[in-house]
Amino acid sequence: MTLRRWRVASLDGMLPSTGLGKDAIMQSQDQGEIMQQENVVSLMGDESIARVVSVAPATYKVKFGQRSGQRKRPLDLLDLFGSGQITINGDQVLLNGPCGRFSMGKKAQLSVPLSDIFNVEWSGLTVRFRFDGDRENLSHQVEFTAANRDDVATLRQQLPVRQTAAFARQHAELQEYRSRLMTLSPRAPVTPVLVAINVLVFVAMCVGGVGFFAPNGNDVVHWGSNFGPLTMGGQWWRLFTSLFVHFGIIHIACNMLVLLASGSLIERLFGSSRFLLLYLFAGLCGSMASLLWNPAVNSAGASGAIFGIYGGLIAFVMNSRNGVPVAVMVGQRNSALFFAFYNLVFGFAHSGIDNAAHIGGLVGGFAMGLVLARPLRKESRIGFGMPQFATGLVVAAIVLGAMSWPLGHPSAKALAEQQFQTALLDFPAQERRVVEEANAVGKKAQSGAMSGADYAGVLQRDVVPGWDHIYALVSAPKLEPGDSQYALQQTLNRYADGRRRTYRLIAQAVLQNDAALMEQAKATKADADAAMLELNKMK
């Protein structure tokens, strides 16, 4: 047995080694390791020993991001994180950098024999490899980002190519999978188009006066949000337009980053036309689920559709017949499940997040993914073709039709909630108009530009009827005491009723020159003002 050794070393007098070539490969019978024949010196027991040839010393600036080993054990000797360097000398690799995420200036060094390094992986500027641990059945992983592509190319020549049989087999499967995927779907045009549409709509909203960071909900309604009373009142197109409308820059930025990060892969798995059907179907399922859960909701955003494509991804990778390697399947499945779980938990823990749309999109996307998924083979793409896509359209029509029926036949409770939400939408404009009119005639009366009788006449003719209309608007919906909006409605009723009675009493007091009536008006106004303060606290 060869001794597995780690030792701390200085930075002086180091001679780097060459990497191993790329020809004849042989597999060790006992260890199950794949090594190149020209670099094998001898076989000792169950260990293969690779010869290392010295070259000029080389040091590379890197950024470490190290994780625990294969068995998820913590690194007991080294926890490199952040800017550091790697030096290769002769038969040793020296790792040097900050120790831990919060190192507070603490540095760590570790010397690893080149012969202990195996399973080197490359992805852009990211390099990852494992090395033997100091105990039986323990190995550790080093991960870092190189400074440039030239350094990566040089490191490729210097680091060993020793691989375990399982790693080599998995690597070959991944390469073949990526090759098939790029051959079948070399482009993914739908994802950037969807992102562009969302961004253009948001820019148009901002140019149109909608708030950049936290827009008013009423403003977003005018741009096509899924506002229950209007959607269920006949504006069904809002189920679709709400998928491209967002509540501020943070909302759209988060959604578009996720869509860009995952959309292209999922589009290649399904194909562009199927991906578009999956996206839109899941988004519509999310919009309808949102209304079924809360008929008075005002929701918008692409998150329901994004949850849906993750649902489709889960459906695709979980079916082994689709030709996704196990490593990819496990990684993508776990990533999608974590995304869904984390965001749903976050949504339940914070108000203002439409989890019903998220769940509806996730379930709808998973179901449609089962229908549309095809094996990653050319003959399967041709064989499944239009019949499968047509099946998806039929399933979409049936599901959306079934979900729309209860939306078109709401309960009395749902109708009352929708009516009240519509009243809330109209209330600010109605109130502003009447208040401005009352203030204008009040200033004229105080300045002497209008007689007392004329002032009282305007109040009775215009201001009081205006407040009567507002009171009727907010009090007409018959909300039940247990409704979440019941307290708000009662306070609004108190406010509107107080204002209309105040102006009615003022008009009577002015016409009759009655001080007692004016005192009643003051008391009524004070109660209405108190109700207004309560309303402001409820917002």
Instruction: Please identify every residue annotated as catalytic.
Output: 303, 358
Residue 83 Cα distances to 48, 96, 97, 144, 445, angstroms: 33, 9, 6, 9, 75
How far apart, in whole angstroms, are the C-alpha atoms of residue 282 and residue 304? 7
Q: How far apart are CA 414 and CA 407, in angstroms?
A: 10
For residues 403 and 401, what is the distance between their CA atoms, to the nearest angstrom?
Answer: 5
Instruction: Cite the DSSP H helix spans in 232-377.
Output: 238-241, 249-270, 272-293, 303-318, 326-349, 355-372
Work out whether strand 163-164 and strand 226-227 pair parallel, antiparallel, or are unpaired: unpaired
Alpha helices, H only, 49-189: 149-158, 165-184
Which residue, among 126, 53, 60, 125, has the nearest Cα to 95 in the 3D structure?
Answer: 60
In eight-state DSSP terms, residue 3 is: P
Q: SS3 for 358?
A: helix
> d(Cα 132, Cα 33) in Å, to the nearest integer?
13
Q: Maximum CA pair distance of the chain?
A: 117
- Smallest Cα–Cα separation from 354: which of 301, 275, 402? 301
DSSP string, 189-214: -HHHHHHHHHHHHHHHHHHTT--SSS
CA 79 to chain centre: 30
Strands 298-299 and 226-227: antiparallel
